[in-house]
Structure 1
Amino acid sequence: MNTVSAHVVPDLNTRLTDVIDATEAHVAPTDHHAVFPVEALAALRSTGLLGLLVPTAHGGLGGRVRDLVTATQGLGRADMSVAMVFAMHCQQTAALVRYADPRLAAALLPRVASGELYLASVTTEAGKGGHLTTAHTRLAGSGSLLDIDRFAPVVTGGTHADGFLVTMRAPGDATEHEVSLVYAGREQLKIQEAGDWQPMGMRASHSVPLRLTGRVPAHQIVGPPGRFHEIAAEVFGPLAHIGWSAAWLGTAAGALSRVLRMLRSPAGRERFDVTSELLLTRLSRSRQRLDAVHALLQQALAAVESGADLSRPPRQLLLNSLKITASEQCLAAVDDLVEAVGLRHGYLKDSPTRLELAVRDLRSASLNYHNDRLHLADGRLALRDQGVTFA
């Protein structure tokens, strides 16, 4: 992938700390009211982290996918909603970097780098869920202008986005698998909220349903018309699974860290017997799950950074396995912690461990491009790899 670079991101940890501080200060109210974390987005803009994957030639930080993983894990320790918002924005950025028309890239990437342009993804559609490589709604128009009329039941951060990457069926007689990716700026669209957002977890992602209508120039199609499946295979899929898994791992690791700090504090030592075999066993299981996810994430990251063909079955299986495993094991790790520390610090909202929030947020992970769908795909891929080779 072209996001790989030898460039070292300047002051990544300092930039990240500023965003984490802004995030931590508003975790409780954004979750309680199910509102978008505008303070965290402002910090992502001001620190330049929105431009993490934008090449330095366009004014960005020139970061690698590995930097995305580092930043997303760090944000996940503070708030999984913010981590997911950030990871999905970077996924959109990577698609523009690799596939945008030169005119479009020149117009958009400096704005992303400066923090002016936060990107949202519009891939869900009524009747197909989040399935990436099909579309029911068709782009209209021909020649130099294209008309967009698109409803999406879930658009993460959409009401605060400055631009959108939208999947739609290509114009003409295209089939549902001939999907185009088109960029539309907020100024080019009429945006209508079509419902409310009151979920169990991931409340601060503010993933409301939206209807987008407008007209854009034809050069705002990203990549070859009707061939979004190539972008999905090379950018959208890999960065989704890696970015999401980093967010989930960060969330679970943050929960474990807060539990350990509580147990080692003077008050914790009075309340808990840290020599208890049951407590130690549950802590061990939680840590073991996270180490396993971390190892799989690093393996998948190495495969992506290698520049190898990601469409090969062993690599697709690895990336899908990462998503499935991370979504299940990070939730299980936090559940281990709930059992370890009990009702007061595992189940109640006012505990400094924030385990209750972590459980609610992580319960969404298996549903985010459903694991059942990935298992079906992996079964077909396994049949194509009779030698059982590994990426």
Structure 2
Amino acid sequence: MSDAAAALTEPAPAGPTALAGRVAAVAAEHAARHDQEASFPVEALAELRATGLLGLLVPAGHGGLGGDVTDLLDAAIRIGRADMSVAMIFAMHCQQVAAVVGHAGPQLRAELLPEIAAGRVYLASVTTEAGKGGHLRTAQAGLEVSDGDLVVDRFAPIVTGGAHADGFLVTMLRPGAGSPNQVSLVYAHRDQLTVTASGDWQPMGMRASHSAPLRLEGRLPGHQVVGEHGGFGRIAAEVFGPLAHLGWSASWLGTASGALSGVLTLLRSKDGRQRFNLDSELLLSRLGSARQRVDAVHALLRQTAQRVAEADDLSRPRNQLLLNTLKITAAEQCHAVVEDLIDAVGLQHGYLKDSPTGLERALRDLRSAALNYSNDRLRLADGRLALLDPEVRLA
């Protein structure tokens, strides 16, 4: 057989959504146990490594899949249908990878990106600090310089998946900083640090995200600064903020749409047709409301992703307003979808933990969405931003 003929018989490489389906299947198999135990989804992480999805945003030249934001959103939605914690873990890792791709220096990119692409490095984000929460653009702990190395001593009250991360992107005050806004972003491999867990993780929902407190201490080579010292504000505006709101919203949308699919499957089953009156106007109204919410969030997600891809300056008020609107709307509407569905199917299938619809876990998980960088804080920011755009430019 010729090489050309052999190539025609070989299966085409699976795309990101198909790979995400493999991760989702593994996540779904173990989701109930990890939710009950508040334990990290190690099986799903292993599948993320095996499929190459940890390298989704790594350029092909560094061995990655060379995907874009649309691929990230499609994958997060697919995984979110099975387990919102896993989808959020994946989306936040991709946010970190995008920062390295876009802002790291040549040496760090050459060292780190092939390792991510090979599935050997799962990245966790260390941006929270006691007293400031997840506010991105300020820091309290300061970097020190010793013999050209960067000395890290950093405590964070919330580090999603930190106990299982292979590396961390850490925000700290630049050496000699004169204000809390002079923030640097540094990469630290786990082998370069002493990582100490502090406290437990027993939340209402998102239990498998295992976002427990950590202290990181160690020395890093000077080239492991991502971007310029003190220049994290630019990375926050171009990468961290946009991809957080896009990735989170896609994860929430996946969970909401998966919940709706589960309820519709139940209602259309033989048992469901006997148990429920499918001509009930109240039932149909609630289903219609849930679908409306899902479609509205989906449309806003795609519009915002297109704006992020095309905008020449994401810091402009109308762009920031759209990103914040996406986050607020997705957080509220995806949670409301599940509330609609619980009302629609009642106590047994909507409220009990052992219901095959999974609505009880979805409701607990999605309740975190409005708190994950508080909607109240974003509304306050939006009020200030609105004053800067009196023409209300929508294009």
Instruction: Tell me the TM-score normalized by structure 2.
Output: 0.96
Aligned: 1:340 with 2:344 = yes
SS across alignment from 1:26: helix
Equivalenced residues, count: 384
Q: Which amino acid aligns with 1:199?
A: P
- The structure 2 residue matched to 1:65, chosen from 52, 69, 72, is 69
SS at match of 2:184: strand
What is the aligned partner in structure 1 of residue 109 from structure 2? 105
- The CA deviation at 1:14 is 2.9
Measure, in 2, the Cα distance between the counterparts of 1:59 and 1:283: 44
- Matches of 1:30 and 1:173 in 2, distance apart? 42
Amino acid paired to 1:144: G
* Among 176, 183, 189, the residue aligned to 2:180: 176
Aligned-pair CA distance for 1:142: 4.7
Aligned partner of 2:216 in structure 1 is 212
Structure 2 Cα separation of the partners of residues 116 and 279 of structure 1? 48
CA displacement 1:80-139 (0-9 Å, x = unmatched):
000000000000000000000110000000000000000000000000000000001001
Give the match for residue 163 of structure 1: 167
1:10 to partner: Cα distance: 4.7
Displacement, 1:9?
Answer: 8.2
The correspondence for 1:268, drawn from 272, 286, 291, is 272
Q: Give the CA deviation at 1:390.
A: 1.2
Cα distance in 2 for partners of 1:14, 1:98 equals 26
Per-residue deviation, residues 19-63 of structure 1 (Å, max 9, x unmatched) = 111111101100000000000000000000000000000000000
Assess if the C-alpha contact under 8 Å between 2:16 and 2:56 holds in 1: no
**Which one of 186, 191, 195 corresponds to residue 195 of structure 2?**
191
**Same amino acid, percent of matched pairs:** 65
Q: Name the SS for the 2:137 alignment partner.
A: coil
Q: Distance in 2 between matches of 1:14 and 1:33?
A: 29
The answer (yes or no) to whether the contact 2:21–2:79 under 8 Å persists in 1 is no
Instruction: Give the partner amino acid of 1:384.
Output: L
Contact 2:58 2:67 in 1 (8 A): yes
Paired residues of 2:72 and 2:247 also in contact (CA < 8 A)? yes
Could you say what secondary structure the match of 1:367 adopts? coil
Match of 2:252 among 238, 248, 260: 248
Tell me which stretches of 4 or more aligned residues in structure 1 moved more than 4 Å. Answer: none
Give the AA of the match of 1:106.
Answer: A
Deviation of 1:143 (Å): 5.4
SS at match of 1:27: helix
Q: Secondary structure of 2:145's partner? A: coil
Aligned match of 2:204? 200
TM-score, length-scaled by structure 1: 0.97
1:86 aligns with 2:90: yes
Aligned to 2:54: 50
User: 1:173, CA displacement in angstroms?
Assistant: 3.5
What is residue 384 of structure 1 aligned with on the other side?
388
Q: Aligned-residue CA RMSD in angstroms? A: 1.1
Gap runs ≥5 in structure 2: 1-11
Unaligned runs of 5+ in 1: 1-7
Letter of the 1:91 partner, please give it. Q
**Matched AA of 1:224:** E
2:375 aligned residue: 371
Aligned to 1:298, which of 302, 308, 322? 302
Q: Which piece of structure 1 moves more, 8-17 or 263-272?
A: 8-17
Corresponding residue of 1:118: 122
Q: Give the Cα separation in 2 of the matches to 1:51 and 1:352.
A: 33
Q: Quick check: 2:17–2:71 contact (8 Å CA) kept in 1?
A: no
